[in-house]
Structures are given as C-alpha cells and as structure tokens.
Amino acid sequence: MFTGIIEDLGTIAAIDRMSGRWEFSLRTALSLSGIHEGDSIAVDGVCLTVTKVGQETFSADASLETLNVTTLSNKTVNDRVNLERAMRADSRFGGHIVMGHVDATGEIERISKAGDSIQYTIRIPEEISRYIVRKGSVAVDGISLTVNEQSATTFTVNVIPYTASQTTIALRVLGDKVNIETDILGRYVENFLKGQKEGVDLDFLYRYGYIRGK
C-alpha cells in the first residue's frame, strides 16, 4: 500500500522489452541499501515488484496486462518517473490510501494558472467517474491530489508549487496520458451496498450504528 506522497523523481536507465514482460531499470536518489528484491515500489502510480538491485539502479518487471492498462508502455529511456516505496506501518500517513492498481489512463485536457498553483483538467473514461468526487482524493501518476471539480468525463486538480517541483506533473503537457487510480474506499462502499437486500436509508443507518438518534 502507498500514500501518494512521492519520494523521488527517478529516471528510466534502460528498458528490456521481452515478449512476455518489460524490465525497467531505474535510477533513483533513494538509498539502494533500503531497497530489496521483492519490495513493492510505485512507478508513476503503478505497483511493481523489485526484481534486482544493482550498484546504481534497481529493476522491476511490468507484465503485458500492466503495460496494456497504464502509461508504462509509452515510456522511453531517460524519462522521469514518480517513485514511492510501500508505506511502513510506523510511518505517517500523509496522502490517502493508494494501492498502485491503476484503474485507467486519463488525458490532460487543460492546463491553467491559478495564482501560484497550476490546475490540470483530465479527461477520463466515464465508467470510472462515479468513483471520483469533489473534494475527494485521486492518484494521478501516483500523486495524491484533491479533486476540485468534476463532471461525467473530466475532473480538475490544483497542484501547488511544491508538488509541481517534486513530481513529474510539471513536465506534463496537453494531450499527455496519465495513470489514474480512484479512491479504493468508494469501491468498497459500492461493493458493500450491492450486497444489501434492503435499501440504505436513515432507518438502515440507525440500525447498524452509523448515526445516532437525538
């Protein structure tokens, strides 16, 4: 599990495009002594497993399924990527729950200034829009961001200067594809409600202790 708080801007050092998978070699400022084979690392929001650690880089494999549903298939050598190691149980939780399981790719439709910040409007498939809510959280290329506005096919996020300087978001231009992961809590709630034979109303909420009477 991740938090969407990016730890480092890594660089793709090499890509070995094999028939059944691609192996990415990544250069990072993170201490390689703290990265081990089998560790989970989010690369632009995609949870990958570390397969080997060298003196200057670490490697991680992406399956064909991962390549089909994320932007990793578009990456080239020297591209910068957001990196986040899996969170520790004793660490601060600064963002939101991010699984590293990308729901879909979105396309940057508009970029505009908003004071010192930058606003990005991103077009997404309509089938995932119900999991994105105004003032809720969304991960864009692994970055935990707050949704400012939304419609059936787009949402807008506001990126402060610090976030822009510490992640790849400032490198994105109109038409770029980005990885989108919606808030997993919404999916759990939807799945829970699907299993209910009775509707969710005030009586239901009282009965199961979600709200209290006066």
Question: CB under 8 Å to 24, separation ≥6 — which residues?
Answer: 12, 14, 15, 43, 48, 59, 60, 61, 62, 72, 75
The pLDDT score that the predictor gives to residue 33 is 93
pLDDT at 208 over 90: no
User: 104-191: same fold as 8-85?
Assistant: yes
Give me the chain's average pLDDT, please.
91
CATH class of the structural domain 104-191: mainly beta
pLDDT in tens, 155-172: 999 999 999 999 999 999
pLDDT at 118 over 80: yes
The whole-number average pLDDT for the span 203-212 is 68
Q: Distance (Å, rounded) from C-alpha 192 to C-alpha 149? A: 26
The pLDDT score that the predictor gives to residue 205 is 66
Range from 88-92, 122-126, 174-178, 196-200 carrying the lowest mean pLDDT = 196-200
The pLDDT score that the predictor gives to residue 69 is 96
Decide if 160 contacts 117 (C-beta within 8 A): yes
Structural domain boundaries in the chain: 8-85, 104-191
The whole-number average pLDDT for the span 13-23 is 96
- CATH fold label, 8-85: Elongation Factor Tu (Ef-tu); domain 3 (2.40.30)
pLDDT in tens, 51-65: 999 999 999 999 999
